[in-house]
Structure 1
Amino acid sequence: MPVRPPALRLSIPFFALLICGSLCSLNVWADPEIAPPQRDAQDVTFFNDEVLPILQKRCLECHSHAAGKAKGGLMLDSRQGWVTGGDSGTAIVPGNLEDSPMIRAVRYVDVEMPPNGRLPPEEIAVLERWVSGGAVDPRKIDVAHTEGGIDLAKGREHWAFQPLRHEAVPDVKHADWPLDPLDRFLLARLEQQGLQPVEDADRYTWLRRVSLDLTGVPPSPEQIEDFVADQSPQAQERVVDRLLASRAYGERWARHWLDLVGYADEIGTSNNIFAEHAWRYRDYVIDAFNDDMPFDQFVREQLAGDMLPFDSAEQHASQVVATGFLILGDLTIVEADKAKLQIDVVDQQVDKFSRAFLAMTVACARCHDHKFDPIPQQDYYALAGIFNSTQSVHKASWGVWSWPTVVELPETVAQQADREAKAALHAERIENLKTEQRQSAARKTEIDAALKAENAVPADVESLEKERKQLDERLKQLPAEIRHAEFFAPRIPQAFAACDSPEPKDMQITIRGNAHALGKEVPRGFLQVVSIADPPVVSSQSSGRRELAEWIVRPDNPLTARVTVNRIWQRLFGEGIVRSVDYFGVRGEQPTHPELLDHLASRFRNDGWSQKRLIKSIVLSRAYRMSSRHDAVAFASDPGNRLLWRMNRRRVDAESLRDSLLATSGKLLDSQGGPSLPLEILENTGGLGKGEVNPPNFRLKKFRPEQQFVRSIYLPIIRDGRQAGPAELLNVFDFTQPAEFAGQRNVTSVPTQALFLMNAKLMRDRAGELADQVLSQHQDETERLGELWLRAFSRPIAPDEVSTATSFLHTARQDQNGQPPDQTDRRAWKELCHALLASNEFLMRL
């Protein structure tokens, strides 16, 4: 078989996406309800004798019910299968070879199928003759999924939809090992396999691990010394309580949630339109984690905060801001087809909601029943109707542009007084600018007259022309400054938030997702496969968001608690108990420890949905204390560490890396939040004038000086993924793009990461600052090395490392001949600090 060039090799999933690509609107054959063509005995014989054997041999292994596979959602074991096609349309256009993706695929035109080698020419010819002749296919298959809907009773047998099981905590042989009931579930499985967990990590490793996991930054030398000195049994618990009580905890764990929201400081990706109020939602999430808001309340507020009771203006404002969960996203604000925009926004909300709270891909049922999971198309539109009855976007005053819903927030009396005082000062500033503009224009007129006078002397002319030039430059600047000041004048606080439509109503099915091809109306409701007794009834007078929130957090909804504790486990152990953390569906991973998952879910729910309590119990467990040491015997039996015989090693994420660099060098600044985009800097904004064709926009030419030292969560997040300025590190180390909803990030190892660590100004600056810290605090070289190791690695330096580092410094000093001794010494230490900050030990969480 000839070898194909690597550039032409395509994976099966990629083929599947293309083969079911864009034919839904080509002709009537895209509609499975259209009757098949008339066929005679000769056509049927040709299909059975010539075509069917090729399909059975070459295709049905990956595209049939019998094989239990539908790559790209495409089934080829019946006429109904290829007419319905994959995720977007039919695979064969009878009578039309060029427009049939299946024929183009076997010809290796767009994609290459089968992927393991081209079909013989005679087999391709048979398929071409079949399609050219009308693609007669007498096959039918009696599958509920394609002919009569989804079997919900069978679907409920899937583990994720089963009620939480309350298994007894298992007995174990080594009863002295567990520190928490969760340890017994893990140890019991290990003992069943004849395995034992590795030894505990040393205290330094545990302290660095828990500090990075809970706050995103390593411990300071003082915190290390305090922990080492505390030899009481409560030492670890005191550390955990301190970390959970710190603002850094919320700043760290809020970032995990923002990955699921598609958060950014930009509206859409067109024309760099700033999301002026997005930061309020980010700060809401940080505060919610720090306040340990019960997770069920967290759900209610984000789905229906505007509909909940409140006791104060502050609480009301916070709950309204919370609904930014539904608004913030990759909005196509230049879509001229407003009906299409509306259903696309609803689709994004359905997708975000189902992934974040249920770890289900409900959005796959927009155009047809879900290909794998027990989610009929009707359920998609039952949920979609709730969001379609919610105001999320409206037509803007700029041409075809649209705008997310913005609401004014309630104020306390004190907040109103403070705003009015600031507004008065701001108005005075604007008036001063206008006065300066008038006076400058008048003075310029005077100068022009003086320069035209016949008695002007050469010295006066030179002075006047210089002043006139300065006035010209200032008069050019003042209109933009005035326009900027007027645009950003203090006003009643606003937020991107949801509210109910004036006339909530059920939604019609959109045929193949087409907003202008409407089908039957579907009553608003919830996923049928999640069996809940007496589910809430959606009121005809409201969207149903409040009822949806109550359905999500009902005690008999097993998904919410399972999904949440699995995500928490993944963030602490590197892998979830269900490794496909964002997908609990039929084709997702099975839980490695189902009894443990349900044990933790029940604890979480029974402890008042407290995330801090659950996290504390996990990080104080014996399982979390294990070292990450390799064990050959355990590895031979369980190479993937699915039974958790050791702690997983992993690289810190992008934000933690940047924040750790700042913390280690002593430059990390505290922040209380607020706007990330420096829109107060005139050069960063554009399009602020009235009558502009496009909305106001930003350019990010300048940053606030302090922004290079604040935590990464407070930096501007650009929706197109090109993070700028202080956030440039995020581009290199697998930051989740804001157009995605991801509970678990990809981790790559690419050359650009090493190049960044070696050459980036960020690395050089932090290394220099760390060197200055070490040099200023100690005179003795050995003491300096000890301090450096504590700061960089959170542990004492080993004797062999002392000799290696000393040798490194000696060589580095000799390489800088001709420099003053003090500069030579600093540069040597800076090089050593840079080497440590770029090392695996600094990058890894062990």
Structure 2
Amino acid sequence: MLVLVWIFFIALSPLWAAEPTPPQFERDVVPLLTQHCLKCHGLEGRMAGLDLRTPNLILRGGDNGPAVVKGSAEESLLFKRIANGSMPPGSEKKLTAEQVETIRRWIVAGAPAAGSYGPVTQAEAPAVTVKDRQFWSFRKPVRPKVPQVGQSNGVRTPIDSFVLAKLEEKKLGFSPEADRVALARRAYFDLLGMPPSPQEMAEFEADLSPQAWERLIDRLLASAHFGERWGRHWLDAAGYVDAQGLDHLITDDKTAEGKYLYRDYVLRSFNEDKPYDRFLAEQLAGDELVNWRSAQRFTEEIKSALIATGFLRTAADDTDIPEVNTADIRYTVLHQTLQVLTSNLLGLTVGCAKCHTHKYDPIPQQDYYRLMAIFTPGYNIQSWLQPKERALPDVSASEKEEIDRHNTEVEKRLEPFKKQLEVLLRPSQERLLDEKLSKLPEALRADIKSALETPEKKRTPVEKYLVAKLGPLVEVKPEEVRTALNDEDQGKVKEVEEKMVPLKAELRSYGRIQAFYDVGPPPPTYLLRRGNFETPGPEVEPGFLAVLNDPEAPVHFPELSPEMKASGRRLAFARWLTNPDGAAGGLVARVMVNRVWQHLFGEGIVATLDNFGNSGARPTHAELLDWLATEFMSSGWRIKPLIKLMMTSSVYRQASFREDSAKAAKVDPGNQLLWRMRIRRLESEAIRDSILASSGKLNGSIGGPSVRLEYQPDGMVVVSEKQLTDPSSQWRRSLYMFTRRNY
């Protein structure tokens, strides 16, 4: 019997010796590709057009054809390049023989993967229905008829009729008009962010003509300080700060050269009453509105258009730091940019569709990545430009070449004097450096010194890390070197520097613009499964939100001249957003009108300023909102007339208290019907500005670099007097104080 059992098992032995389970893509192949291949073929680049992140993309291949032929390792480029050692290239770590065999077996087995191989096609979005498009904010606004009211003697503008009609339904009416002092202060704070002077108040009180209020509004709207007040509202919504990058260290107040120019552009635009549709077009696609690449000279129009695109550079981008210049951080910059512009301009929580189709609004996940594809020619994950590389000279290429050539000649004449200075300063500099190095662990001293002496572009990753982390500890500042010199050497240094003064005066310079522009041809954009950049899905084409798009109108992107080297995608997006005949244009108008209303009345007609979707608040006065939106568009998208229309209404001129307030509050406790003017808190910046204005210390200069701050041990943040170029700058408006995300 035992013999029979052994014979049985011996007969089965060939089955036990069968080929082991073939490698699986996710378990066995992905770790190898991640370690050796994906940096150049998927995560941070797409060399030769090849992306190796998913089986579908591997089968599609790149410029040289499919990377894998199922069942045939000998015909598969991926295997051939790995097996012959040509990939990874250069000094990169090669795969071991065992790892190469794993790749071979995986291909021979048919390149199995846990998920099925779907066709590599464009992503198809769930259909947006007619019912979806009937939601109040997704409909194109239609100008409603101004309602008739019983208390017509209280009507000054159509706004009053819409508000009063709802009040009369509840047997309520307007509160009495506020006294002239309260009205004047209200207007000054709303339009300028500062109180009227005693003289200005006296002049208004003395003007008893029926046009006095309107004249006051006109004068305030014409003030240069109007742009500061209303520009701040826009900058807050756009997420503008002076600080560069993640801004996570309070001791680090680095900024980008010329970043403040975007802030000044916004102020100037509000003061000029630039049409809102043009304002948006410049910020979204200023570089596609002007032919800046081929211009012989940069006009003010070209510079302004490029500066305006700083709107797309407000997201925290810290990829200047090598350790965080990675694919996930790059995508984060893109996601934050989309969040800012969709919430600010469209009033929608589009970011909820990053990982899946929106749970509340008809926004498929595919639409999110279609929007992203509009911006990937500028924020190209594979051909990423670090912030310091994105800045453009504020002169044309030919002007820059001319200036550089001139400066090179001057520098040649300066060189002998620089060498003399180096001879005089180097001994003190090296002595101070050695003193600071001596405070570091001995094992690090030689390495950090070598790293500091190596030009930045030639530093290894380790050297870059050492300089970033330890450089500030051993930095020798010029003033320290001067102080360390003896009297004789100080005299020699002064003599050399005096000889350099007339030569330095000949040097010419140019500034920088923190612009956004296409960095190359549009790259492919993929839907990211669950929002994960490591699991790309089907490719998507650029497009707009389907729920706001005419289903019968194909998406069209303008063909720009080849010399502009731009895709035209952002310009098409800007035109779609501001088309008064489309649902998108209507929504953009509603959102902006609602923001203006909120700044004047304390709460928007839609309380959720950034959410006009299903999960947001409903408008308290839907017909009024649509009337204002259509009025705004038909009046040329101008903000100043819109503000004046609201401020000349009886609704705005109401007192904030009335004798029968208790009775009215029972009917409408939240004052949603606007039976009185809301009492509002004055924000901290306006309080500081008011104190400065009232004390006579306010420096009223407009624009320019921000005033630097410093941090005291007790946590207080104060003006850095040592960094002031003008002592009176510390009394500038709060708008010009150095802003950051974290204090």
**TM-score, normalization: structure 1?**
0.57
Q: Is the partner of 2:611 in helix, strand or coil?
A: coil
1:338 Cα shift?
Answer: 2.9
1:431 Cα shift?
Answer: 8.2
More moved, 489-498 vs 652-661: 489-498
Task: Give the residue type in structure 2 aligned to 1:597.
Answer: L
Q: Judging changes above 3 Å, is the alpha-carbon distance between structure 1 residues 242 and 380 closer, same or farther for their aligned structure 2 residues?
A: same
Inter-partner Cα distance in structure 1 for 2:204 and 2:413:
53
Q: Judging changes above 3 Å, is the alpha-carbon distance between structure 1 residues 356 and 476 closer, same or farther for their aligned structure 2 residues?
A: farther
Conservation of the 8 A alpha-carbon contact between 1:387 and 1:543: no
Q: Is the partner of 1:508 in helix, strand or coil?
A: strand
- Corresponding residue for residue 458 of structure 1: none
Q: Does 1:287 align with 2:268?
A: yes
Conservation of the 8 A alpha-carbon contact between 1:393 and 1:402: no
* Structure-to-structure mapping, 1:181-192, within 5 angstroms: 181-192=158-169
1:336 Cα shift?
Answer: 3.9
- Corresponding residue for residue 355 of structure 1: 343
Q: Is the partner of 1:622 in helix, strand or coil?
A: coil
1:360 Cα shift?
Answer: 0.6
Q: Does 1:301 align with 2:282?
A: yes
Conservation of the 8 A alpha-carbon contact between 1:506 and 1:524: no
- Corresponding residue for residue 638 of structure 2: 610
1:347 Cα shift?
Answer: 1.0
Conservation of the 8 A alpha-carbon contact between 1:525 and 1:538: no
Structure 2 unaligned residues grouped into runs of 5+ = 1-25, 28-123, 429-482, 560-565, 712-718
Q: Judging changes above 3 Å, is the alpha-carbon distance between structure 1 residues 501 and 522 closer, same or farther for their aligned structure 2 residues?
A: same
Inter-partner Cα distance in structure 1 for 2:196 and 2:215:
14
- Corresponding residue for residue 385 of structure 1: 373
1:571 Cα shift?
Answer: 0.2
Q: Does 1:199 align with 2:224?
A: no
> Equivalent of 2:391, from 406, 411, 414?
406
Inter-partner Cα distance in structure 1 for 2:524 and 2:329:
18
Q: Judging changes above 3 Å, is the alpha-carbon distance between structure 1 residues 490 and 649 closer, same or farther for their aligned structure 2 residues?
A: farther
Q: Judging changes above 3 Å, is the alpha-carbon distance between structure 1 residues 411 and 618 closer, same or farther for their aligned structure 2 residues?
A: farther
Task: Give the residue type in structure 1 aligned to 2:377.
Answer: S
Deviations 1:523-555 (A, max 9, x none): 110000114363641358715101000010011
Conservation of the 8 A alpha-carbon contact between 1:369 and 1:375: yes
Task: Give the residue type in structure 1 aligned to 2:734.
Answer: S
> Equivalent of 1:548, from 554, 558, 573?
573
Q: Is the partner of 1:624 in helix, strand or coil?
A: coil
- Corresponding residue for residue 234 of structure 1: 211
Inter-partner Cα distance in structure 2 for 1:295 and 1:581:
18
Inter-partner Cα distance in structure 2 for 1:358 and 1:379:
14
Q: Does 1:717 align with 2:739?
A: yes
Conservation of the 8 A alpha-carbon contact between 1:190 and 1:645: yes
Conservation of the 8 A alpha-carbon contact between 1:214 and 1:244: yes
Identical positions, percent: 39
Q: Does 1:597 align with 2:608?
A: no
Inter-partner Cα distance in structure 2 for 1:474 and 1:538:
66
Q: Does 1:154 align with 2:108?
A: no
1:152 Cα shift?
Answer: 3.4
1:478 Cα shift?
Answer: 13
Inter-partner Cα distance in structure 1 for 2:175 and 2:645:
20
- Corresponding residue for residue 431 of structure 2: none
Inter-partner Cα distance in structure 2 for 1:574 and 1:246:
23
- Corresponding residue for residue 317 of structure 1: 303
Conservation of the 8 A alpha-carbon contact between 1:200 and 1:625: yes
Structure number with higher relative contact order (C-alpha < 8 Å, ≥ 6 residues apart): 2
1:395 Cα shift?
Answer: 8.2
Inter-partner Cα distance in structure 2 for 1:419 and 1:429:
16
Structure 1 unaligned residues grouped into runs of 5+ = 1-25, 28-146, 445-465, 684-697, 723-846
1:296 Cα shift?
Answer: 0.2
* Structure-to-structure mapping, 1:136-535, within 5 angstroms: 149=126, 151-268=128-245, 269=247, 272=252, 273-309=254-290, 313-333=299-319, 334=321, 336=324, 338-391=326-379, 403=388, 405-410=390-395, 434=418, 437=421, 469-470=486-487, 491-532=509-550, 534=553
Q: Judging changes above 3 Å, is the alpha-carbon distance between structure 1 residues 314 and 193 closer, same or farther for their aligned structure 2 residues?
A: same
Conservation of the 8 A alpha-carbon contact between 1:566 and 1:577: yes
Q: Judging changes above 3 Å, is the alpha-carbon distance between structure 1 residues 659 and 677 closer, same or farther for their aligned structure 2 residues?
A: closer
1:418 Cα shift?
Answer: 14
> Equivalent of 2:598, from 532, 554, 570?
570
Inter-partner Cα distance in structure 2 for 1:579 and 1:369:
25
Deviations 1:170-209 (A, max 9, x none): 1111111011111100011000111111100001100000
Task: Give the residue type in structure 2 aligned to 1:538.
Answer: F
1:281 Cα shift?
Answer: 0.3
- Corresponding residue for residue 694 of structure 2: 664
1:674 Cα shift?
Answer: 1.5
Task: Give the residue type in structure 2 aligned to 1:576.
Answer: G
**TM-score, normalization: structure 2?**
0.65
Inter-partner Cα distance in structure 1 for 2:642 and 2:732:
29
- Corresponding residue for residue 702 of structure 1: 723
Conservation of the 8 A alpha-carbon contact between 1:324 and 1:498: yes
Q: Is the partner of 1:529 in helix, strand or coil?
A: helix
Q: Judging changes above 3 Å, is the alpha-carbon distance between structure 1 residues 626 and 699 closer, same or farther for their aligned structure 2 residues?
A: closer
Q: Judging changes above 3 Å, is the alpha-carbon distance between structure 1 residues 604 and 574 closer, same or farther for their aligned structure 2 residues?
A: same
Conservation of the 8 A alpha-carbon contact between 1:200 and 1:627: yes
Q: Judging changes above 3 Å, is the alpha-carbon distance between structure 1 residues 477 and 371 closer, same or farther for their aligned structure 2 residues?
A: farther
Q: Is the partner of 1:521 in helix, strand or coil?
A: strand
Inter-partner Cα distance in structure 2 for 1:545 and 1:442:
52
Q: Judging changes above 3 Å, is the alpha-carbon distance between structure 1 residues 395 and 168 closer, same or farther for their aligned structure 2 residues?
A: closer
Inter-partner Cα distance in structure 2 for 1:618 and 1:276:
39
Inter-partner Cα distance in structure 2 for 1:589 and 1:678:
40
Q: Is the partner of 2:539 in helix, strand or coil?
A: strand
Conservation of the 8 A alpha-carbon contact between 1:393 and 1:404: no
Deviations 1:389-445 (A, max 9, x none): 224789899xxx7646211224799x999999x989x9899889959947966999x
Conservation of the 8 A alpha-carbon contact between 2:331 and 2:381: no
1:309 Cα shift?
Answer: 4.0
Q: Is the partner of 2:526 in helix, strand or coil?
A: strand
1:376 Cα shift?
Answer: 0.4
Task: Give the residue type in structure 1 aligned to 2:614.
Answer: V
Inter-partner Cα distance in structure 2 for 1:404 and 1:700:
31
Q: Is the partner of 1:274 in helix, strand or coil?
A: coil
Inter-partner Cα distance in structure 2 for 1:443 and 1:361:
60
Inter-partner Cα distance in structure 1 for 2:342 and 2:236:
14
